[in-house]
């Protein structure tokens, strides 16, 4: 391994800090390219649809240039086609390709299982195994550069949006967690929201505490801006009371009062499943407020959980909420969906059979496959949001991740399991 590569890795943070937020990624990839004597180094960001990569470039206006523009910024969409770029992201394994132009290295840019994009490097000579390891670590470091700098600019968000957002979609986007996937030693979690043509007010959320995993899936009544505003009241209240240390039932009661007391529409409500997973014991407290029942997959077999029934949040705010619980066993998978996954045209999808067939997939890939399944039977324009949250329980809170360059390779979807 050329020692200059190690120098480049050491200097990546300094290069990113010296550059503006818009130029930070280019500064880092330039540092790495010089160390590797690469013909080119590119970062391709994951599209918000989850079905493409986007190449961002700063290019003065050229009529022949294809792609979406914002001034001199150019975004070129590369849809997934089952090729090596997609393979690298699905399996979280660096791909090495040889053609007449040289050797192309495709390294996933990932943080705790959250796919951020892909590092693409063109070399004139075949890289040694040690060099591939350093490239993988550089790609991991690049993930943190993107995470840090996207807080200061709209460039990355703009690049990821291949479809224009209306106001309700903009509100809904702000309610979702900044990362859809999280790998912990004892659990792996991934959520997904496939929006309707007119936003249906779905959300999912999670937060990892020292000894607990908090999560929620909500579905506000109606569509459009009104639905997004109802969802905002509910999610903001749930986060506020969660951060104040309130119990699940107290969180539900506060959210019910908030939706009822500040409603933008008469009779406003939202259905919800709230959960708190004890990472020491695997005991999961659950509140079902008028929502589709959660599904527990144990030994490969899906079954709905029976929980105390509660009114939707905001419907009868004076009614006290009741919680239930289930003790998860290592290997269990908990799945929470909204009715957009089960009703209207989406009912044509055999959800039970799909869940049974996807048990070997990483939650990130299982969520994508389920979303694709709903679009296949009810799309391309859905009548209602289709949202899901998948949690795999591995057991033992002290269980270490088998992480390599930002992903747990033992949990990643291998090529022979897809």
Q: Where are the domains of the chain?
A: 3-160, 167-417
Strands (E), 209-328: 212-220, 270-278, 283-289, 295-298, 301-304, 309-310, 324-327
pLDDT of residue 130: 85
Exposed e or buried b per residue across 301-313, where buried means at least 16 C-beta atoms within 10 angstroms of its C-beta: ebeebebeebbbb
Give the residue ranges of the chain where pLDDT is below 50: 1, 3, 412-418
Q: What CATH code would you report for 3-160?
A: 3.30.450.40
User: pLDDT digit string (tens) for 293-321?
Assistant: 999 999 999 999 999 999 999 999 889 99
pLDDT of residue 10: 66
pLDDT of residue 281: 95
- Asked whether 279 and 211 are in contact (CB, 8 A), the reply is yes
pLDDT of residue 410: 63
Q: Where do we find the tokens 């914002």?
A: 70
- Asked whether 197 and 381 are in contact (CB, 8 A), the reply is yes
Helix or strand or coil: residue 208? strand
- Phi then psi dihedrals of residue 234, to 5 deg: -65, -50
pLDDT of residue 45: 96
**How many whole angstroms separate alpha carbon 22 and alpha carbon 54?**
16
What does the DSSP 8-state code read for residue 265? S
Q: Which of 195, 192, 257, 191 is nearest to 223 (CA)?
A: 195
The architecture of the domain spanning 167-417 is 4-Layer Sandwich (3.60)
**How many whole angstroms separate alpha carbon 117 and alpha carbon 281?**
35
Helix residue ranges per DSSP H, 20-91: 24-36, 84-91
pLDDT of residue 156: 94
pLDDT of residue 411: 59
pLDDT of residue 9: 65
pLDDT of residue 62: 63
């Amino acid at each position: 391994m050329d020692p200059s590569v190690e120098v480049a890795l050491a200097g990546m943070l300094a290069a990113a800090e010296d550059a503006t937020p818009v130029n930070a990624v280019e500064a880092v990839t330039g540092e790495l390219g010089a160390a590797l004597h690469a013909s080119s180094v590119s970062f391709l960001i994951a599209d918000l649809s989850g079905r493409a990569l986007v190449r961002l470039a700063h290019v003065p206006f050229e009529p022949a240039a294809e792609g979406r523009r914002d001034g001199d910024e150019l975004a070129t969409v590369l849809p997934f086609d089952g090729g090596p770029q997609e393979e690298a992201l699905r399996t979280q394994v660096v791909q090495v390709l040889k053609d007449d132009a040289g050797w192309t290295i495709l390294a996933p840019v990932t943080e705790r299982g959250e796919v951020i994009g892909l590092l693409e490097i063109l070399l004139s000579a075949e890289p040694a195994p040690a060099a591939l390891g350093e490239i993988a670590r550089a790609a991991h470091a690049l993930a943190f550069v993107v995470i840090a700098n996207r807080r200061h600019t709209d460039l990355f968000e703009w690049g990821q949006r291949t479809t224009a957002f209306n106001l309700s979609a903009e509100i809904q986007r702000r309610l979702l967690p900044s990362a859809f996937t999280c790998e912990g030693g004892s659990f792996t979690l991934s959520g997904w929201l496939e929006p309707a043509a007119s936003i249906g007010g779905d959300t999912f959320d999670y937060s990892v505490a020292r000894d607990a995993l908090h999560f929620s899936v909500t579905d506000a009544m109606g569509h459009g801006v009104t639905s997004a505003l109802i969802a905002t009241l509910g999610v903001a209240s749930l986060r506020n009371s969660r951060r104040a240390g309130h119990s699940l039932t107290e969180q539900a009661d506060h959210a019910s009062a908030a939706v009822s007391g500040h409603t933008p529409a008469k009779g406003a409500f939202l259905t919800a499943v709230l959960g708190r997973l004890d990472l020491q014991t695997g005991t999961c407290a659950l509140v079902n407020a008028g929502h589709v029942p959660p599904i527990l997959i144990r030994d490969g077999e899906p079954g709905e959980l029976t929980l105390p029934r509660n009114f939707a949040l905001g419907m009868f705010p004076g009614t006290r909420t009741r919680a239930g619980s289930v003790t998860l066993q290592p290997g269990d998978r908990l799945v929470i969906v909204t009715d957009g996954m089960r009703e209207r045209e989406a009912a044509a999808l055999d959800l039970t059979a799909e869940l049974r067939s996807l048990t070997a997939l990483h939650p990130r890939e299982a969520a994508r496959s389920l979303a694709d399944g709903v679009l296949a039977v009810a799309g391309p324009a859905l009548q209602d949001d289709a949202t899901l949250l998948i949690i795999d329980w591995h057991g033992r809170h002290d269980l270490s991740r088998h992480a390599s360059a930002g992903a747990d390779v033992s949990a990643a979807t291998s090529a022979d399991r897809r």
